[in-house]
Amino acid sequence: MCMNATDRRDFLKTAAAAGAAVVGVTALATPADAQAQEQSAGLGERIALTNVRVFDGDQVTSPRTVVMDAGRIGVSPLGARRVDCGGGVLLPGLTDAHIHLRDVNTLHALAGSGVTTGLDMASFPPSLVDSLRGLTGLTDIRSAGTPAVAPGSPQSQIPAFPADAVLTGPEQAVRFVRSRITEGSDYIKIIIDEPGLSLETVRAVTTAAHSAGRLVMAHATSTVTVVRALDAGVDMIHHVPMDNPLPASLAARYVSTGTVAVPTLTMMEGFGNLGIPGMDYAAAEGSVAALHRAGVRILAGTDSNLTPGIPVQPPYGTSLHHELELLVRAGLTNREALRATTSLPAQAFRLRDRGAVRIGNRADLVLVDGDPLADITATRAVRRVWIGGVEYTPTA
Ligand SMILES: [Zn+2]
């Protein structure tokens, strides 16, 4: 059931009266606009989730009713289909801030585990990414597309790897960024390895991306590459040093520059288990502890992938729950771990319509048994998932 334009105006009036933050449903000039918005909001019916306790970003509330209306968190339960949630806990849909898209099965695995937003950190060709965008009732994605890499790097040797993403110097940065934007990349990814792209090149790509209004993600797994990423002014650093725990002085630089960390401890753990010299999981965990002590914004990301040749392939969906547990083990509180997969990624990636159970937001919701504030493993007990107001149902 969809709202018509009149219903929608009533909804907005009610929401405004309630002092609610209504996001993304304000342009109602014409019926055509309203129709387009109904499509973008998904085709969810009006559903009232009753007897549900809500993680509000801080606490788990007493039992209440949450309304989903035309794909958004709504206000009025009038005429809604009621679903008794039996005192279960409702979380904002979870975000995995580091995945690699494979195919539509990726989205099913994520959705089934309550991951309603998947942030891809390198996939190509662009047609693959495009084919997975905006699918009703499935995980909503964003993608970096093709990352910038150095000549001779492992990525540059993948047979179909785009030649214009192998950068030999800073003068290629503007063209690289322009190509990615033309292809539809939502943000720009740079692989910083040692040896690898020079500081000048990383800085030039960062500047070009920022000029185009795009966020910059850096891959860095050692102390020296983290320094290069910080020197270049990237927005987020993915992974953490595994050679040594991050020194407090470097963690402080994340804070002073507003750099966000996506440690991907699940991936670091997998590499730690391979016994490669210089890849020590204890150092990775120590790096996260240092970031946490310094007050750095930390996001949950797993590096889930099915990329041929990658020796560690965390499973889509379920590994996000493992990541939350590893973050708690590294020093985050349960509340901080939940924020790391809900409100913080929404804020850091400028996805202003999600990350909280708030009127007007996308109705991306996960119902779990138990209280993850008391026991973080409770996020694993996913009972039901709604994406854009549409309940996820596994295909046969
Ligand atoms: Zn990755």
| Ligand 1 centroid, distance to 94 Cα (angstroms) | 18
Is 277 buried (19+), middle (13-18) or exposed (0-12) by CB count in 10 A?
A: exposed
pLDDT of residue 394: 83
pLDDT band at 395 (very low <50, low <70, confident <90, very high): confident
Q: How far is the CA of 123 from the centre of ligand 1 (A)?
A: 9
CA of 98 to the centre of ligand 1 (A): 6
SS3 110: helix
For residues 309 and 120, the model is more confident at 120
Determine the distance separating the centroid of ligand 1 and the alpha carbon of 212, expressed in angstroms.
23
Ligand 1 mean position, distance from CA 305 (Å): 8
Alpha carbon distance 288, 245 (integer Å): 8
Rounded-to-integer distance, Cα 187 and Cα 180, Å: 9
Residue 40 has pLDDT above 70, yes or no: no
Delimiting residues of CATH 3.20.20.140 domain(s) in the chain: 94-348
The ranges of the chain annotated as CATH 2.30.40.10 are 5-91+354-391
Phi, psi (rounded to 5 degrees) for 220: -150, 125
Give the CATH number of domain 5-91+354-391; options: 3.30.1360.120, 3.40.50.720, 2.30.40.10, 2.60.40.420: 2.30.40.10
- The alpha carbon of 97 and the centre of ligand 1 are apart by a number of angstroms equal to 10
Measure the CA angle with vertex 239, ends 155 and 98; round to 5°: 75
Q: How far is CA 43 from the centre of its chain?
A: 23
Q: Choose the most confident range, by mean pLDDT, from 36-40, 133-137, 156-160.
A: 133-137
161 CA from centroid of ligand 1 (Å): 16
Q: How far is the CA of 14 from the centre of ligand 1 (A)?
A: 43
* Spatial distance between the Cα atoms of 33 and 7, rounded to a whole number of angstroms: 14
**DSSP 8-state secondary structure symbol assigned to residue 284:** H
Question: How remote is the CA of residue 354 from the centroid of ligand 1, in Å?
Answer: 23
User: pTM for the whole thing?
Assistant: 0.89
Both structure tokens of 161? 């790897």
- For the cut 50, the answer to whether the pLDDT of residue 8 exceeds it is no
Phi, psi of 141 (to 5 degrees): -120, 160
**Does the pLDDT of residue 10 top 80, yes or no?**
no
Residues with CB under 5 A from ligand 1 (ion): 121, 303
Instruction: Tell the CATH topology of 94-348.
Output: TIM Barrel (3.20.20)
Q: How far apart are CA 380 and CA 331, in angstroms?
A: 20
pLDDT band at 43 (very low <50, low <70, confident <90, very high): low
Mean pLDDT to the nearest integer, 358-367: 98
- Of 5 and 24, the one with more pLDDT: 5
Distance 387 CA to ligand 1 centre (A): 24
Specify the amino acid at residue 174. Answer: V
Query: How far does residue 191's CA lie from ligand 1's centre (Å)?
Result: 9
Determine the distance separating the centroid of ligand 1 and the alpha carbon of 301, expressed in angstroms.
Answer: 9
